[in-house]
Amino acid sequence: MMAARLLGTSSKLAKLTMHFHTARVAFLPIVQFKLSDIGEGIAEVQVKEWYVKEGDTISQFDKVCEVQSDKAAVTISSRYDGVVRKLYHDVDGMARVGQALIDVEIEGSVQEEEQPKKEASKSTPQPSKETGSAPESTQSDGKVLATPAVRRIAIENKVKLSDVRGSGREGRILKEDVLRFLGQVSADHVSGSTNIRTTHQAPSPGAKSVSSQFQAELFLQTVNLKYEPLKEDVSVPIRGYTRAMIKTMTEALKIPHFGYNDEINVDALVKIRGEMKDFAKERHVKLSYMPFFIKAASLALLEFPGLNATTDDKLEHVIHKASHNVCLAMDTPGGLVVPNIKNCEQRSIFEIAQEINRLMEAGKRQQIGREDLVGGTFTLSNIGAIGGTYASPVIFPPQVAIGAIGKIERLPRFDRHDNVIAANVIKVSWCADHRVVDGATMARFSNRWKFYLEHPSAMLAQLK
């Protein structure tokens, strides 16, 4: 009798123990979501914007925050399903790689997610009501680690996960890995920029001076602004693009520059752009003068490949680049940034215009991705957009040449019959690396570029 009672008590204790064990596993653990290495030797980033707040429920692949390095803007996505319990940084604060960004209360057992592979291979217990479904990291096909959501994407797209290289922890395959494998990853996965919209640039009036219109608009903007003197000194931290500019310009000014200036009559260009604007509008393209400047430069670079070039670190070789990846020096809220338009030699004027609009919109949001910042071969800077005429542009290393284009001015000039006429004129200022580029080459290139702008029909005739 006593033995039976003891056996019954033992059985109850065993069930109670099992009950407590199950309850412990069912607790919602809190894990730190740390900033992963985003490459390029970047050790810290600036938190530009939070997309979540404490108490928010998030899912895998939801946007957590946007961070800004000295090279590019990156959107950080969640790796977990759960509830945000803590944000570790304020907006504009600095976060270091490997340190926590947020705390997340996970929907499920962190023990299951982080269970070593050896334990998973010891046995394959049947799922029960107490233990729940199989963990997300279960190696259901031998070696592949992936969440059910990722597996669903793979199944829907008929992708064999064993063919996909995982970039997550312990080789776990993420959603981005599958999309990258499918060739569907766009700039949005890197820079977080979606639904890119074109930007409107004020057209040049028919008979009025472009510069006069700009000056009038600038005056109206200025008189409506109220400036007050600072009451005390303000220490402004150097962050984002400005940090990159400091490094780049320090190296750039070690290059022996030489300059070359010229002016171009753009009457024909003003006319042909006016004729193309309506056609461009039908194609939802905002057509400024910059696409013409870039295309003319690309055509001229075909004749002078030594200017579409970079130098190696030891200055033992000059690499003539096959692609014309023309950089644009852009003034953004975050500072100077120099993205580039890839393969301009293969693009039409309309396609170049679309890329310019995309980059301008991304620059305003400080969301220009790394892929837009690397690989440049030649640079143009449109100083005329803010009213300048001449400049001394600084070469963007390892490139060997740069041009600064001034505003369009309505000026008196002589025609071929020595009559004084009103002409639309721009000034251009070139700088080149005098170690590898001679003055004659720069002048000949400038003359060819000038020819295409003064005779745009010749430029259009060469478009493929």
Three-state DSSP class for residue 423: strand
Residue found under tokens 């000056």: 215
- Check: CB of residue 189 under 8 Å from CB of residue 176: yes
Q: How far apart are CA 458 and CA 265, in angstroms?
A: 15
Minimal CA–CA distance to 381: which of 368, 391, 370?
391
Give the angle subtended at the CA of 388 by the CAs of 382 and 393, to the nearest 5°: 60
- Give exposure, 360-370, as e/b (b: 16+ Cβ within 10 Å): bbbbebbbbbb
CA distance 293 to 352: 10
Cα dihedral across residues 188, 192, 198, 201: positive or negative: negative
Distances (CA, A) of 187 to 153, 190, 331: 20, 5, 21
Question: 56, 103, 257, 434: which one is catalytic?
Answer: 434
Detail the DSSP E strand segments found in 406-458.
Answer: 409-414, 420-433
Q: Of residues 37, 141, 312, 438, which has the active-site annotation? A: 438
Terminal-to-terminal C-alpha distance of the chain:
99
Instruction: Name the strand (E) or helix (H) holding 215.
Output: helix 210-223
Query: In Å, how far are 41, 89, 182, 328, 379 from 293, measured between CA atoms?
Result: 35, 43, 36, 11, 11
Catalytic residue flag (residue 434) = yes
The rounded distance, in Å, linking the Cα atoms of 403 and 119 is 63
- The 8-class DSSP code of residue 288 comes to -
Alpha carbon dihedral 203, 205, 210, 214, in 10-degree steps, equals -70
Nearest residue to 349 (alpha-carbon basis) of 286, 292, 271: 292
Furthest C-alpha separation in the chain: 129
Structure tokens at 414: 């002589």
Provide the annotated active-site residues. 434, 438
